[in-house]
Structures are given as C-alpha cells and as structure tokens.
Amino acid sequence: MTDRLIIRRPDDWHVHLRDGALLADTVAHTARQFARAIVMPNLSPPVSTTAEVEAYRARIIAARPAGSDFTPLMVLYLTDATDPDDVAAGFASGVLAACKLYPANATTNSAHGVTDVRNIYPVLERMQAIGMPFLVHGEVTDPAVDIFDREAVFIEQVLTPTLRDFPALKAVFEHITTRDAAEFVVAAGANVGATITPHHLMINRNAIFAGGIRPHAYCLPVAKREVHRLALRKAATSGSEKFFLGTDTAPHLVQAKESACGCAGIFNAPHALEAYATVFAEENALDKFEAFASEHGPNFYGLPLNSGRVVLERVRELVPERLPLGDGEIVPWLAGETIGWRFSGVTD
Ligand code: NCD
Ligand code: ZN
C-alpha cells in the first residue's frame, strides 16, 4: 500500500473566497493546497465589471500569506446588463479568466443574476469568438420545479439550447450533482467540461437529514440520490479529461449555517485534497488522481501545468470541529471525523 502520494501541484477550479474580514483566512486555506483557483464573483453586490474584478483581485493578492505565490483566476459575474466589450477587454488584458452565469436567485448572492439566458446572447457570441470560458451554475430557479430536479431541468431547458446556439463556446458545468449532468458532459464536445466537488462525491441527500437536520451538509446544488453520487464518482475517477477538481468551498460562519434559514455552502478548503484522495483511493483510482487534480483543469482553460509537487501521506487525521475564520468560527467539511490522508506540503 502506498503511504505517500506525490502529485503535481493542483489548482481549484471553483472557490468562494468572500471579502473583507474573511479574506485573509479563506485565501490562506486555499493557497496552502492549491497554486491557482477560479474565484467566484458572487459577492454582495456582485463583481460584475472588469474594473470591479480588478479591484477584487488586488484585495485577494494583498490578503495572501507572506511569501505565497497563489494566483487568483478571476471571474466576472454576468448580469442582464453585461457589456460584451468590457468582457472582451478584460479577457484580452488578462484580468478575466472567465464569466459566470448565475440564474437569478439560484444561490447565495445571485439576485443580480441573469433572468433569461437570451439576455446574455451578445456576450456569449463574443466569448465564443475569443475562446473565453463560460462557467455555469446549472439550476433552473422556477419554484415550481422540485429542488432535486433543477439541474436536470436546466440541462434540458437552458444548457442544451444554449450550446446548440453556441456550439464552440467553452463551457464549464460547475459542481455537477447528477448522473444526468455527468452523461451530458461526456456526450458533449471537447469544449464542455465540468467541476466536481469532494462533498458531492462523498454524500447523498440522506446526509442532510441524518438523525435530524444537518445544515453543514447543505449546499447548492443540493446533494442528490445515491445513484447520482455513484455516477459522479465514476466520472471523476474515469480519467476523462472533461472532469476536473473544483471544491466549491463556500464559507458561511457557524451562526449563518446553524439557523432557522441556514445558508447554502460547505467549507471544504482545509482538507480538500485529503477528501478527494479518500474518494480516489476507495475507487482504486489513485492513478487517476493527479490528472483530475492538476492536469485536466489547466488543459481545459489553456493554461500551463504547475511546476512543483504536493505530498499527501496516508495517515489518520482528525478534522477539527471548528476553525477560526475572520473574526468568527466555521465548521469545516468532515468536522469531527477521522480521515485517512494528511496534506504535508508543497515540494519541488
Ligand atoms: C455558494 C456560496 O455560498 O457562495 N453556495 C453553495 O452552496 N455552493 C454558491 C454556489 O456556488 O452556488
Ligand atoms: Zn460555488
């Protein structure tokens, strides 16, 4: 049995770093394990122009731990009013790595999101022409659609027609949670990829109701049935270059989660690689782990692979019940559980 896993330094293709008092800690947690990260723009108010993205990037860079070379890859939040020229200029200047579609009111801080995908067709036209990645929160928001069906209905009502109209658009189906989404991505062209979170590989929807309501297992898109979790594990460990690591680490302080109306989001940055390694080991697919964590994402985005390596050791480690974050406390993913891996740092 291998007791050390050494892989090329990975990136996280989906993170929420927030802002203000939380930023130094969120950046430190992600930068500890990952060289680069796609930073989601759902602040309040959202980061929806290149100038706002540039200012947010400067705050993130200023918040990095001393000596850190962590690179935030920045994303513009699409609204009904997004200007294609601003997007194209931001991409050309290197400020923007991608744009993100939040269907209006789909998730945390998405009230300013797109009300109808046709409203951003001029932006998508331009993004397709310049090869700019289009990142998608893939859920419909119609309250009449059952919450567990919203991803599958989105594929049918929004993603399929959009990709038919823009067949060369580089699109990332973010944090997929269903067999339907995994199958859709496999069947699509090489221009369509997907991120998969560690928590959707580890839990099904029963975890949200195990012996009582479990706010720390609640995120969006919500975890689905076991059949979907198994399909995601198969996709992630298949070796297909369409699937890559994106934790969707989404911190909400303990009082915002443990509430009569608890926020959606799971904070998994502190033990992200350990969680993924657990899944790949259980699937006897550790030989596919490095490509998922460190190669498929950069190849999809057209970025160089990182140099350097990270080391994981196969030792038992207890995840703390709580961690300090900003001026508060947070309950991390797998809190109180013992995991079988320990991240032991970056090496040459
Ligand atoms: C994210 C957040 O809190 O920003 N929450 C979540 O449950 N994943 C938003 C998102 O990615 O949908
Ligand atoms: Zn997210």
* Cβ(218)–Cβ(208) below 8 Å: yes
- Which tens digit of pLDDT belongs to each residue from 34-54? 999 999 999 999 999 999 999
State the ligand closest to the CA atom of 14.
Answer: 2
Residues of the chain with pLDDT under 50: none
Pocket flag, ligand 1, residue 113 (CB < 6 Å): no
Pocket flag, ligand 1, residue 46 (CB < 6 Å): no
- Which tens digit of pLDDT belongs to each residue from 86-112? 999 999 999 999 999 999 987 778 888
- Which tens digit of pLDDT belongs to each residue from 165-183? 999 999 999 999 999 999 9
How far apart, in Å, are the Cα atoms of 245 and each of 147, 172, 175, 213, 298?
24, 12, 9, 28, 11
The pLDDT value recorded for residue 2 is: 62
Ligand 1 atom at minimal distance to the Cα of residue 14: 11
The pLDDT value recorded for residue 282 is: 98
- Position of tokens 């012996």? 211
The pLDDT value recorded for residue 105 is: 87
DSSP 3-state of 313: strand
Pocket flag, ligand 1, residue 216 (CB < 6 Å): no
The pLDDT value recorded for residue 346 is: 95
What is the residue type of 179? R
How many alpha carbons fall within 13 Å on the CB side of residue 197?
30
* Cβ(229)–Cβ(204) below 8 Å: yes
* 12 part of the active site: no
If one counts every other C-beta atom within 10 angstroms of the C-beta of residue 8, the result is 18
Pocket flag, ligand 1, residue 182 (CB < 6 Å): no
The pLDDT value recorded for residue 1 is: 56
Catalytic position from the list 248, 287, 327, 348: 248
Rounded CA separation 73/56 (Å): 11
Domains, the chain: 4-347 (3.20.20.140)
Ligand 1 atom at minimal distance to the Cα of residue 174: 11
Computed over its alpha carbons, how large is the radius of gyration of the chain?
19
The pLDDT value recorded for residue 106 is: 77
